[in-house]
Every structure is written in structure tokens, then in C-alpha cells.
């Protein structure tokens, strides 16, 4: 749930990286976190991860980013990932509480196409649990792991992934690699901008 | 659907929290929404705690604890509290959307603290209600 504080003139929005297990959600967040730490000493938000032995996400990864001012309001992003494994349904649901924007991280490996589709269905179900639908929030697709050498591991083409996951919605999408950083910031910048616009429009915030 | 906090409410909530810290002797108090978004914090050591992380983890902890209650056929647990060596932490649901976290020294009385929390929780709930 976006929070707008008219006293200190701040807007906070919640962005969640969703997708099947091992599609690269945590890697996206780690990449962003590390780059921000390198480049901006003012950012003090710590990354919080609840995982099993520093590997698989059990609950979520989280960190906040201060984005500076928009329309006179200080903008704060809260980035979360969800766990992908089926058994963590409860925690996935919980992380979606109050979500404003989703990055759906789809795995480009050919063998994971079914898992992508299932996870996307699961997203819709879990939004419904919070009485929300996709149209209440902003969504971007990220076709991740495009860096993989197709001669080693078969990949689904971007066109195929668009067709299976996105033909009904036509959301903006980015081919990406969370490993090399390709389009990782593009993805987060895009969803942040769109979500903020959406929240501002919904709440009729005057320019200041 | 966003939570909009206007200036008057923000001022009032901040006052209430400051006074609460002063009168109860608590170390630190924080309000978060149930999704883990920090709303307000107050206390002598505001800079030394990572309020964002505390809010996120507390909201998660609260929700997980509620699920545990359901599993054992309890509606909810009436006391949510961790005892530490240097600091205790107490969680209160002040409204369906807002959780209050209080840090306090182990030598303070939990009962008295809970009384003081009880006195301000309705007011906070109504100030932050829609
Ligand atoms: N080659 C490649 N591997 C990736 C990429 N993103 C993630 N991985 C790897 O995929 C595995 C799972 O990534 P992780 O971020 O933990 O997935 P999560 O379950 O979605 O959080 C790890 O071994 C990552 O190193 C990518 O863009 N390219
Ligand atoms: Mg993960």
C-alpha cells in the first residue's frame, strides 16, 4: 500500500519481484543493492534476507531506496522478492500485501517455461487473496538469463515468452540478465516510474 | 488505495509517541503498516535502529505468528513479546492496518508498559484510520 505523508512530503511505494523459483529475483535485488552501495554513500538502507542457509529465499529479500524528489515529494521505494518454491505460499502471499508494482522475473531457460506460466497464475490468485487484480497495480515483465549461451542450455525465444505470458496483457518487457546487469536498472526504473505515476494519479496529489 | 497521512494527524501521532516514550521509559517505539512500511518512529535512539528493516521484519513476524495461532486453533495470541538481555520487544496490533513495536529495557514492568500502550492505541488507530 503506497503511503503518502503530507507532513514530511514523502511517498513510499512497494515493489515486489515475483516469479518461479530460481528465476533470478534475488540476483536482481543483489545487483541493484550492490551498485547503489558503490555509487551512493547516502543510501543507508540495509538489505534484509530471510533465507535458508544464505541460499534459497524462504520469506523475502528486502531493502529500501531513496529516489530523491518527484513533484516536491521525497520518493521511497521498498523492493521485495518473494520465495518461488511452492511450499512457501503463505509467505508469498504475505509479501504481496499492499503491493503497488510487480516485476515478474521470468526464466528464459526452455525447461522453465511451464514454471513461469504457473507462477504467473499463482500471482493472480495471490493478488485475489488481497482483493486485488493485475489492473489495480503496475506490472513489468523481465525475460531474465538472456546471457546464457544457447549452445549449452536451450532458451525460449523472447517472442515465445511474449506470446505465452504477455499476449493477453501487452505489458512492457525487458530482456535482461541479473547476472551481468543487463537491463536490471532499466526494469526497476521503469516500474518505479510507472507505479509512482499511478499512485499519484489515483490519489490526486497536487504538484508542489 | 493508499494510506494518506495528513499533517494534523502526523503531528498528533508524533506527539503521542513522544509522550509515550517519555512517560513509559520505553527505549523506542515504531508504527508500521501490516505490509511492513514504516510509518512513525520515536525514541532516544532513533538513529541507531534501522527502522525500515525493523518494520518489515516485525510485520512479517506478526503475520507468521498469526498463522501459527490459526494452526493451533487460536484466534490470535494476546501477548507478543520477546525478552532480550539488553532490550525487550513488544508487538501490538493497534488497528487492522497498523502494528506498534515497542523496545524497552528488561527492568521495566511489562504490565505497566502494556497499560500505557492500551491507553494510546485507540487514539493512534483513529488518527491513522481512513
Ligand atoms: N546465467 C544467469 N544466471 C542467473 C541469472 N539470474 C540468476 N541466475 C542464477 O540463477 C540461480 C537462481 O537465482 P536467484 O536469484 O537465487 O533466484 P530466485 O529464486 O528467483 O531468487 C542462481 O544460481 C543465479 O546465479 C542470469 O541473468 N543469468
Ligand atoms: Mg530468491
| pLDDT grade for B16, boundaries at 50, 70 and 90 | very high
Distance between CA atoms of B4 and B21, rounded to whole angstroms?
A: 25
> Which residue among A34, A142, A178 has the greatest number of ligand 1 atoms within 8 angstroms of its CB, and so is best to mutate?
A178
pLDDT, greater one: A85 or A165: A165
pLDDT digits (tens, 9 = 90+) for A14-50: 999 999 999 999 999 999 999 998 887 777 778 899 8
Whether the predicted pLDDT of B97 surpasses 50: yes
Which residues does A109 contact at the CB level (< 8 Å), separation at least 6? Answer: A145, A148, A153, A154, A155, A156
B64 burial level (CB within 10 Å; 0-12, 13-18, 19+): middle
Residue A65's DSSP bridge partners are A77
| B67 contacts chain A (CB < 8 A) | yes
Q: Is B1 on the interface with A (CB under 8 A)?
A: yes
Which atom of ligand 1 lies nearest, measured to the CA of A61?
21
CATH for the B14-128 domain, from 3.90.1720.10, 3.30.70.1450, 3.30.450.30, 2.40.420.20:
3.30.450.30
Please, are residues B11 and A208 in contact by the beta-carbon 8 Å criterion? no
**Residue A206 clears pLDDT 70, i.e. is over it:** no
Q: Are the C-beta atoms of residues A179 and A24 closer than 8 Å to each other?
A: yes
Burial class, A3, CB count within 10 angstroms (exposed 0-12 / middle 13-18 / buried 19+) = buried
The proportion of chain B whose per-residue pLDDT surpasses 90, expressed as a percent, equals 78
Q: What's the complex ipTM?
A: 0.83
Helix (H, G, I), strand (E, B) or coil at B52: helix
Contact by Cβ (8 Å): A18, A115: no
- Domain with residues A3-203, CATH architecture: 3-Layer(aba) Sandwich (3.40)
Check whether B121 has a pLDDT greater than 70.
yes
- pLDDT given for residue B1 in this prediction: 61
| Per-residue pLDDT tens over the stretch B45-95 | 767 788 999 999 999 999 999 989 999 999 888 889 999 999 999 999 999
- Which residues from chain B sit within 8 angstroms of residue A90, using beta carbons? 64, 67
Segments making up each domain of chain A, as ranges: 3-203
* A56 or A19, higher pLDDT: A19
CB B40, CB B28: distance < 8 Å: no
Q: What is the pLDDT of residue B130?
A: 55
Domain extent listing, chain B = 14-128
Q: Name the average pLDDT for chain A.
A: 93
Question: Which of B22, B11, B17 is CA-nearest to residue B120?
Answer: B17
Predicted pLDDT at A208: 43
Amino acid at each position: 500500500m503506497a503511503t503518502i505523508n503530507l507532513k514530511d512530503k514523502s511517498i513510499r511505494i512497494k515493489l515486489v519481484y515475483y516469479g518461479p523459483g530460481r528465476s533470478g529475483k534475488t540476483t536482481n535485488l543483489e545487483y541493484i543493492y550492490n551498485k547503489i552501495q558503490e555509487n551512493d554513500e547516502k543510501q543507508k538502507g540495509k538489505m534484509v534476507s530471510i533465507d535458508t542457509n544464505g541460499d534459497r529465499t524462504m520469506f523475502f529479500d528486502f531493502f529500501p531506496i531513496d529516489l530523491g524528489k518527484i513533484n516536491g515529494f521525497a520518493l521511497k521505494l521498498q523492493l521485495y522478492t518473494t520465495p518461488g518454491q511452492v511450499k512457501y505460499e503463505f509467505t508469498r502471499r504475505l509479501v504481496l500485501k499492499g503491493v503497488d508494482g510487480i516485476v515478474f522475473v521470468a526464466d528464459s531457460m526452455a525447461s522453465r517455461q511451464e514454471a513461469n506460466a504457473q507462477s504467473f497464475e499463482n500471482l493472480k490468485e495471490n493478488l485475489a487473496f488481497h482483493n486485488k487484480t493485475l489492473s489495480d497495480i503496475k506490472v513489468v515483465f523481465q525475460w531474465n538469463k538472456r546471457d546464457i549461451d544457447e549452445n549449452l542450455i536451450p532458451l525460449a525465444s523472447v517472442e515465445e515468452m511474449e506470446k505465452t505470458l504477455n499476449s493477453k496483457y501487452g505489458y512492457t518487457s525487458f530482456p535482461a540478465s541479473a547476472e551481468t546487469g543487463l537491463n536490471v536498472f532499466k526494469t526497476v526504473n521503469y516500474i518505479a516510474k510507472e507505479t509512482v505515476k499511478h499512485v499519484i494519479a489515483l490519489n490526486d496529489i497536487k504538484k508542489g | 488505495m493508499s494510506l494518506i497521512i495528513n499533517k494534523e494527524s502526523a503531528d498528533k501521532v508524533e506527539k503521542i509517541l513522544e509522550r509515550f516514550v517519555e512517560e513509559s521509559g520505553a527505549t523506542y517505539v515504531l508504527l508500521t503498516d501490516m505490509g511492513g512500511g514504516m510509518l512513525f518512529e520515536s525514541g532516544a535512539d532513533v538513529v541507531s535502529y534501522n527502522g525500515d528493516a525493523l518494520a518489515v521484519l516485525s510485520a512479517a513476524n506478526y503475520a507468521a505468528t498469526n498463522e501459527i495461532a490459526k494452526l493451533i486453533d487460536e484466534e490470535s495470541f494476546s501477548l507478543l513479546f520477546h525478552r532480550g538481555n539488553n532490550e525487550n520487544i513488544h508487538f501490538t496490533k493497534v488497528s487492522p492496518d497498523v502494528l506498534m513495536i515497542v523496545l524497552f529495557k528488561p527492568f521495566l514492568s511489562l504490565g505497566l508498559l502494556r497499560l500505557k500502550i492500551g491507553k494510546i492505541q485507540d487514539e493512534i488507530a483513529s488518527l491513522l484510520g481512513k
